Structure 1
Amino acid sequence: MGTSNGSSRTDFILLGFSDRPQLEHIISVIVFIFYIITLVGNTTIILVSYLDTQLHTPMYFFLSNLSFVDLCYTTSIIPQMLVNLWGPKKSITYGGCVLQFFFALDLGATECLLLAVMAYDRYAAVCQPLHYTVIMHPELCQKMVLIAWLGGLGSALILCSLTLKLPRCGHREVDNFFCEMPALIRMACVYSKVIEVVVFALGVVFLLVPLSLILISYGVITQAVMRIKSAARWRKILHTCGSHLTVVSLFYGTIIYMYMKPHTSASQDEGKFLTLFYTIVTPSLNPLIYTLRNKDVKSAMKRILWIKINVQRSHELNRKIRV
C-alpha cells in the first residue's frame, strides 16, 4: 500500500547483527538471560515496594515507576529481537516498527525525567531532612511522575510524526536490531532540517537539562555530606545516593557517548553494541544495583518472605487441627 510521500507500508528488514552471523546465537543467549533478569528483578522491585508498607515512601514510589519503565522498554524490543536472531527472517511489520519506535522514544524520555526527579528526591532527603515529608508530599510526587510520563509521551508523538513522514523511496532495511530513530532517519532519501532542529531541542530538554539538574543536586548533596559527623548516617546516604548515581552514570554515559560519536561506517557497528548495552544490559542492572546496595529493600524482601512462610505454616497447622 503506497503513501503520498513515496514510502511503502510493507515489512521492514532489521539488519541487526546479520553481518556477523557467528555472533547472532551468542548474542541471542546473552540477550535472553539479561531479559529474564530484567523481568524478575524489576517485577520484584515493584512488588516489594507495593507489599511492604515501610517502603511506601517517595524514593520507592519513583523507583517502582523506573522499574515499570524498564520492563515496558525491554519488552517492546527484546521479544521481536529474539525472534529475528533465532529465525531466518529479519523482518518486522510496519505497525510493529512504528510501535517499537514510539515506545523507545516515549519510555527513554520518561526515564531521563524520572532520574532527574529521583535526584531531587535525594537532595530533599539529604539537605532538607527535617522538612522532607512536607516537601515530598504524595501529591507532589504523583504530579512529578505524571509530568515525566506526559513529557515522554509528548516528545515521542512529535518525533514519530515527523520521522514517519519522511520519504523512504522504497528503502526497507533498518541498520539496527530495532526501529530506533537514527536508523529510521538514515533510511530517508531527503535531508530534513526541521527534524535536526527538533531532535536537538528535545535533546537539550530531555537529556542535557535533566543531567545538569542531577549534577547540581549531587553537587549540593556532596557539600552536605561533607558536613555530616555521624558515620552511620554518612554511610546510609552514600548507599542510597550511590545506587541512583550508578544508574544515572550507566544510562546517561552510554547514550551521550553514542550520540556524541560521529556517524561514520566504523562507529555504526560500535553504536549497535552501545545501543545493546543501554537497551538490554542497563535495565537488568538497575534492580540489582538498588537491591544489592540497599538494606531497606533486602530487609523488606526478608519480611515478605517471613510473613509468607508463617502464613503457610498457619494454614498447615489449621489443617492438622481440623483432621
Structure 2
Amino acid sequence: MPETPLTAADLSEAGLLARIFPRLEMGERHNAATLLGPGDDAAVIAAPDGRTVISIDTQVEDQDFRLHWNNGYRTTGFDVGWKSAAQNLSDINAMGATATSMVVSLTIPPATPVSWVEDFADGLTAGIRELGAAECSVAGGDLGRGRELAVTVAVLGTLNGKNAVLRSGARPGDTVALAGTVGRAAAGLALLESKRTVESLNTEQRALMDSQCRPVPPLAAGPLAQAAGATAMLDISDGLARDGARLAAASNVILNFAEEELKLLAAPLLPASELLGADPLAWVLGGGEDHGLLATFPAANQLPYGFTAIGSVEALSSTVRTGIMIAGRPANTGGWDHFAD
C-alpha cells in the first residue's frame, strides 16, 4: 500500500517550522540589513539609508491561484513560493530600490501535505536567489491554520542614497519604455484554464504557462532605470493598459503606445492564441502578472539595458482627456481588478 503522506496536522507548529527554516537558509543568508532574524517576537532590520521602501502582497487559493487547473496542471508549493517572491520583489524594483529583507505569513489547512509546505519554502528561496535579489534574505514571518491556503509577503528595500522613482513624474516629450515582458502570463493563464491538457502543449506553449506560474521580473532593471534618469515607473501587475493608465493619471499626461511595438510584443504569444482562438493583443494590453516595468525617460536620455521604447508621453488637451492611446486613438484600459473580475 502507498504510504500516507505526512500532513500539517501530523506535526506541531514547531515541528513544521523546523522543516521550513532550513529551506529558507535563514541563518546562512542574513545580510547586513538583517540584524536579528527568527527567534524573537520581531526581526530587527537596519536602514542605513535612513529610509525604508516597503511593499506587501497576498496570494489566496482560488482567488490568485488554483491547486488544480482545468488543463490538468497542479500548482506546486514551489510555484506559489516562487511567485510570492517574484511579485513582491518586483514592487521594490519598480521604485528603483533594492530588496533587503522579507517576512512571510503562511496560512495552511491542516490537511496540507508537509511536502507542499517544504516545496513552498524551496520556491521562495529559489525565487530570491535566481531572480537576482542577492541582497535579500528572509528575516522571519508567521505560520497559521486556516480553511484555505494564503500567503502574505512583505518586502523591505533600500534606495542606497538615491531618490525613489514614482508614478507621478512623467512629462510630455518623454519616451515610454518597457523592461521585461507583457502578455505571457495572461496567455499562460488562458492555457491553464483551457481544456488543452498539459501533455498536449508544445514547448513554446508550456513556456507561456510557466510565465503565469513562475514569472520572471527584470529585477536588475529598476535600479538601472533610476540611474538612467527615469521620470516615472511602475510594476505591470494588472496589465499594460490599466497600469499605464495609473501612471498617466498620477503624472497628469497621456501615454501614447506605438501600434507596431505592441504587435511585436504580441508575436511571442501566437503559439497560445492560435491554439485557443484568442487575440494576442488583448493579452498584451490587458494581461497582468508578468511583472515587467513600465517607465518613462527624457527623450534625450539613452535607455538603459533591458528597456525597449514602446511609445511617447503627450500632454493632455481640451479634447483628449484619456490617459492611454494607441497610435493616437483612445484605448480601453481593461486589465485585472481584484474585486470586479
- TM-score of the two chains, using structure 1 as the length reference: 0.30
Report the TM-score, using the length of structure 2 for normalisation.
0.28
Structure having the larger proportion of residues in helix: 1
Q: Which has the higher strand share?
A: 2
**Which structure's relative contact order is higher, taking Cα pairs within 8 Å and 6+ residues apart?**
1
